[in-house]
Amino acid sequence: MAHAFEINTAPVASTSGLDSPAIAQARIDLAACFRMAARLGMGEGICNHFSVVVPGRPELFLVNPYGLAFAEVTASSLLICDFEGRVVLGEGCPEATAFFIHAQLHRLNPRATAAFHTHMPNATALCMLEGEPFVWAGQTALKFYERLAVDEDYQGLALNYAEGERIARAAGEADVVMLKNHGPLVLGPSIAEAWDDLYYLERAAEVQLKAMASGRPLKAVAPAIASAACRQMLQGNAESAYLHLESVKRQLLREGADFAE
């Protein structure tokens, strides 16, 4: 299902400064997200992709290379690409849909420092249903109340600039985009915040599907209360997300994972 990307072979800009401490840390943090996503069953073969704008270089982004499963990604294996399809640093190339989706997301939505796209099973299942994905019946789901957009216009695989741009524009000001017939997309101002939203999005979808499977009606939260609860959850969200990602890295290191290499 994954597709190789035809790299732009034009000369790249200088790679000077791309080994800074901030970039090295971004590599480690992003690799940790891949590894934990794999452990939680959020990956799908060698498809799906996470990216982040390179610290200090807003015209470049880090992304996983084509051919690696989430469980294989390391900090050093991540590619640095530009928006014109050139691999500025690293071996290999991005998966085609990874480039066409993520390059346009970062180019057109500067607030989207990090962009995570997976076909994780529960949130993707909600993308397959008619109507709104969430019933807003569970507290965890309320983290995304008024922060979520739905893209109803599935157009097949994102194998060109036009489809990447369409998805980027469909995101609007939302932090989460449920791509109907496809899967979820999470945008965040940092790697940690994107990871935190991705994790809780899948948990919220999982418990909703379990409740739906009971056959009993779901008890939705009143809109005013749902909105207030979302605002409560977003207070201190950046710090909570940072601590969440730190806990992920500690768990991985304790188990001997080589993601930081």
Q: What is the pLDDT of residues 132-152, one digit of tens each?
A: 999 999 999 999 999 999 999
Domain that holds residue 80: 21-255
Rounded Cα distance, 68 and 118, in Å:
14
| 251: in domain | yes
Residues 23-64: tens digit of each pLDDT: 999 999 999 999 999 999 999 999 999 999 999 999 999 999
Rounded Cα distance, 201 and 174, in Å:
14
| 6: in domain | no
What tokens does 54 get? 């390179």
Counted domains in the chain: 1
Rounded Cα distance, 227 and 146, in Å:
7
Amino acid at 238: A
| 84: in domain | yes
| 70: in domain | yes
- Report the 10 Å Cβ neighbour count for 228: 14
Query: What pLDDT is recorded for position 5?
Result: 67
**Phi and psi at residue 167, to the nearest 5°:** -65, -40
Query: What pLDDT is recorded for position 257?
Result: 87
| 131: in domain | yes
CA 189 to chain centre: 11
Residue 216 burial class via C-beta count within 10 angstroms: exposed 0-12, middle 13-18, buried 19 and up = exposed
**Phi and psi at residue 97, to the nearest 5°:** -65, -30
Residue 189 burial class via C-beta count within 10 angstroms: exposed 0-12, middle 13-18, buried 19 and up = middle
- Report the 10 Å Cβ neighbour count for 178: 25
Rounded Cα distance, 222 and 244, in Å:
29
Quickly tell me which residue has 């001997």 as its tokens: 256
What tokens does 162 get? 């036009």
Q: What is the CA radius of gyration of the chain?
A: 18
Residues 102-131: tens digit of each pLDDT: 999 999 998 999 999 999 999 999 999 999
Give the sign of the dihedral formed by CA 117, CA 118, CA 119, CA 122: negative
| 97: in domain | yes
What tokens does 114 get? 């990090």
Rounded Cα distance, 171 and 179, in Å:
10
| 25: in domain | yes
Question: For residues 93-116, b (16+ Cβ closer than 10 Å) or e, as one string?
Answer: bbbbbbbbbbbbbbbebeebbbbb
Query: What pLDDT is recorded for position 159?
Result: 87
Q: What CATH number is associated with residue 84? A: 3.40.225.10
Residues 165-210: tens digit of each pLDDT: 999 999 999 999 999 999 999 999 999 999 999 999 999 999 999 9
| 11: in domain | no
